[in-house]
């Protein structure tokens, strides 16, 4: 399949799915490891023992013996689901996204196999990535990744999330920790996210929320998800 071209400053929406639809995380410690890995894998410096060396330093602690952190991509938005994840990445150095995805997915597979006694990659083939090269995609990607997908994890179900948007939004922002929505819609500050995504399209968190609500209520996000899925190109890890 043709690989869609991209270069420095390109923005990609990336999806990686579990093999045969199986989970890529099974419990909260797996989810928190993914969150930490988004930070530690996004660095020119590589240390395969990062979990051991940072165990006593908090969620995003950095040992003094390590060199200064130098990110290899910008992570603009993300959401973790039980059997897949979404990332919105900006290429800031040649080959940075490919390198980041190799580190991220390799570490996840290795940890999963050791922890659960499995073998091989936990993922379904190469990751899928859509280059976001016009305002339509850029405007829609934020609510698609951070709202529509998180609403699918809503305890009362997606249909109820749509029907009771305000309640579901509060849950997504305050209780669901495994997306970048709280970084944009609340006061959470993490070193993972570069908030380049919303500023050009939404004047405030309130404006983003209003736009997301309109999309969800009009069910346009669901049709856009189909649009995204059929235009993805495979990119090898």
What are 137-178's pLDDT values in tens digits? 888 999 999 999 999 999 999 999 999 999 999 999 999 999
- Backbone φ and ψ for 29, nearest 5 degrees, come out as -60, -35
- Asked whether residue 86 falls in the same domain as residue 125, the answer is yes
- Asked whether residue 117 falls in the same domain as residue 157, the answer is no
Q: Which of 171, 184, 108, 189 is nearest to 145 (CA)?
A: 184
Domain boundary among 130, 145, 178: 130
Domain boundary among 108, 130, 152: 130
- Asked whether residue 141 falls in the same domain as residue 43, the answer is no
Query: Is residue 235, in this structure, part of any structural domain at all?
Result: no
Q: Which of 210, 153, 206 is nearest to 184 (CA)?
A: 206
Domain that holds residue 203: 134-230
Q: Which of 158, 191, 154, 156 is nearest to 174 (CA)?
A: 154
Looking at the whole model, is its pTM more than 0.75? Answer: yes
- Asked whether residue 24 falls in the same domain as residue 75, the answer is yes
The string of pLDDT tens digits covering residues 184-227 is 998 898 999 998 877 788 888 999 999 999 998 886 554 444 44
């Amino acid at each position: 399949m043709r690989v869609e071209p991209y270069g420095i400053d390109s923005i990609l929406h990336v999806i990686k799915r579990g093999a045969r639809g199986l989970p890529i995380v099974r419990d909260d410690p797996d989810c928190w490891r993914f969150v930490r890995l988004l930070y530690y894998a996004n660095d020119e410096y590589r240390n395969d023992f990062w979990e051991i060396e940072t165990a006593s330093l908090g969620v995003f602690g950095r040992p003094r013996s390590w060199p200064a952190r130098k990110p290899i991509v910008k992570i603009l938005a993300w959401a973790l689901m039980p059997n897949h994840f979404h990332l919105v990445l900006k290429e800031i150095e040649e080959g940075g996204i490919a390198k980041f995805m190799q580190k991220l997915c390799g570490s996840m597979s290795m940890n999963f196999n050791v922890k659960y006694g499995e073998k091989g990659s936990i993922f379904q083939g190469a990751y899928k990535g859509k280059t976001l090269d016009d305002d339509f995609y850029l405007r829609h990607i934020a609510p698609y990744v951070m709202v529509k997908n998180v609403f699918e994890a809503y305890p009362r179900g997606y249909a109820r999330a749509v029907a009771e948007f305000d309640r579901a939004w509060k849950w997504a922002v305050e209780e669901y920790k495994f997306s970048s929505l709280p970084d944009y819609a609340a006061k959470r500050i993490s070193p993972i996210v570069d908030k380049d995504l919303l500023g050009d399209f939404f004047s405030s968190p309130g404006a983003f929320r209003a736009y997301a609500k309109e999309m969800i209520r009009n069910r346009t996000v669901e049709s856009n998800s189909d649009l995204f899925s059929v235009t993805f190109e495979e990119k090898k890890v």
